[in-house]
Amino acid sequence: MKIHHKLFIPIAAAALALSGCQKEENVELTHYPDNHPVVTIDGTNGKSVETLHATYKNGAMVFDGSMSRTYTVRLLASPKDATVDFELIDSNIPAEYVEMDTTSVTLPAGETTASVTVSLKDEGLDFIKDNHDAMTLELGVKVTAHGYNMDAVPVEAKVVVEKAAYAYITDLTVPADTLLSAGQTFDLASRIGFVPENASNTTLKYASDDESVATVDDKGVVTVLKEGSAANITVSTTDGSEISKVCRVKAIGWYDRSGWTVDTSARYATGNNYVVDGSTGKPQDILDGDASTFLSLVKPGNTYNGCTAAAGDPIYFVVDLKEKRSFSAFRWNHRIHDAAHLRVQEIKISGSDDGTNWTLIQSGISLPTANYTDLIQISIPTSAYRYVKVDYTKWNTTTGSTAQIGEFYLGYRPE
C-alpha cells in the first residue's frame, strides 16, 4: 500500500499541473481566437464579388460599372504585428493593363484594416474590341494574412464582367410606302425596326435617289419638296452586315379645288343645307383653305340654332369636281377649335358619275380626333369619278349638337 501512495501523489500533482496549463491557454484563446481575414469591395455593401455587365451600343462596349476598385481587408485585433500580402488573382486580362498600388501592408498590433486599389488602365477594354464573342472577365486580389493565430490561407475578392456577344443585324423592318405632302417632314428613323432587337450597332446610313423630290438627313428625317412625285429612300446598316432596305416616299398631288361645289344631306326648316354658326357653317367653307371656317351639320336626333335632324337621318356632304378625276387620297382638317366632341370620328366615301348612283370606295375610315392640329391624309383605293360623297358614320353621341369639318381635299398618290 505504501507503493500505491507514492505513485498516486506524483500522478495527482502532474494532473493538477496539466489542468492549470489548459485553463491558462483557454483564457488566452478567448481573447485572441483564430484570425481569418475578410475582404470586401468598397462601395458594394460588403460584397466580396460584384458582377457587372458589358453590352454593345452603336458598336461600342458599354459597362454598368467600373472594374477599378479599392478592396478593404478586415482582421480581428491581434497582440502582435501582422503582415497582409496582396497579389492579383489569375485573370484573362493581360498584366500590362492592370495596376495595383501595393503588394504588402504591415499592421501594427491592434490595427484591424488594410486596403489596396486595383486599377484597370484600359476601362474601355480596347484590347478585346475585335473579340465579338460572349466572354467573362475577372479582376481582383488574393489576400494572405500572416501573424498571431493567422493561418495564412488566401482569400479573394473580385469584380466579374459578363460581356455579351456582339449581335449583328440580320434584318431591318422599314415602312414600304409613306404618303406625304410637299413641305412635310417625316422621321423615318423612328419607324425602323431591328432584328434582333438587341442589335449591337443600330447606326444607319440614309440616301435619296431623287433629292428634287425628297431629301433625307443623317438622322433619318425625310423632307418632301415636290408633290405628285416619289423618291426611294435607301436605309443601310453600318455594322458590317451589309443589309439595305428601301422606303418609297410618295408626295401626294393635291387638286386645285377652284370651281368645286359642295352640297349636303340637310334640308332644314330654315331653308339652308347647313347650320349657321356665326359667320360660317356653310358647305363651301370646306374649300376655302381656312380651317377656322367650317361646314356644320346637325347630328341626327338633335336641334341646333333652329335646325333639327331626325334620329336616323343620313348626314353627309357631296363634292362636285366638275369633271371626272382620278384620286387615291384625301385630306381632312378638323375645325380649328378645342371642342373635340364636334369632330367627325368615322366616315365612308363613295363615288358617282351622275350624282345619283353611288359606288362605295371605302368604308370604316377612322379619323383621329384628339387634336385639331392633326394632319389627316389617308390613302384610299384609286378611283375616278366626278362626284364624291362623304357619309358620317360615327360621331360623339353624348355631347354637342353638330358635327363639323374645316377642310376637305382630294389628291392622287404617285406610284
Q: How far apart are CA 316 and CA 153, in angstroms?
A: 90
Q: Do domains 38-163 and 261-412 have the same CATH topology?
A: no
Q: How far apart are CA 314 and CA 264, in angstroms?
A: 10
Q: How far apart are CA 190 and CA 167, in angstroms?
A: 20
Instruction: Give the total residue count for the chain.
Output: 415
Cβ neighbours around 219 below 10 Å, total = 11
- 74 in Cβ contact with 116 (< 8 Å): no
Cell 458582377 belongs to which residue?
51
Please tell me the predicted confidence (pLDDT) of residue 29: 45
CATH of 261-412, one of 2.60.120.260, 2.160.20.80, 1.10.10.10, 3.40.50.720: 2.60.120.260
DSSP structural state of residue 367: -
Q: What is the mean pLDDT of each run of 10 residues along the chain (415 residues)?
A: 37 37 43 85 95 88 91 94 96 92 96 96 83 93 94 93 93 92 93 94 96 96 94 96 96 95 97 96 98 98 96 97 96 94 98 98 97 91 98 97 98 88
Look up residue 391 and give its three cell numbers.
Answer: 357619309
- 73 in Cβ contact with 114 (< 8 Å): yes
Class in CATH terms, 38-163? mainly beta
pTM: 0.62
Q: How far apart are CA 157 and CA 145, in angstroms?
A: 14
Please tell me the predicted confidence (pLDDT) of residue 388: 98
Domain covering 171-251, topology: Immunoglobulin-like (2.60.40)
**Cβ-proximal residues to 230 (8 Å cutoff; 6+ apart), any chain:** 213, 248, 249, 250, 251, 414, 415
Cβ neighbours around 209 below 10 Å, total = 13
- Domain locations along the chain: 38-163, 171-251, 261-412
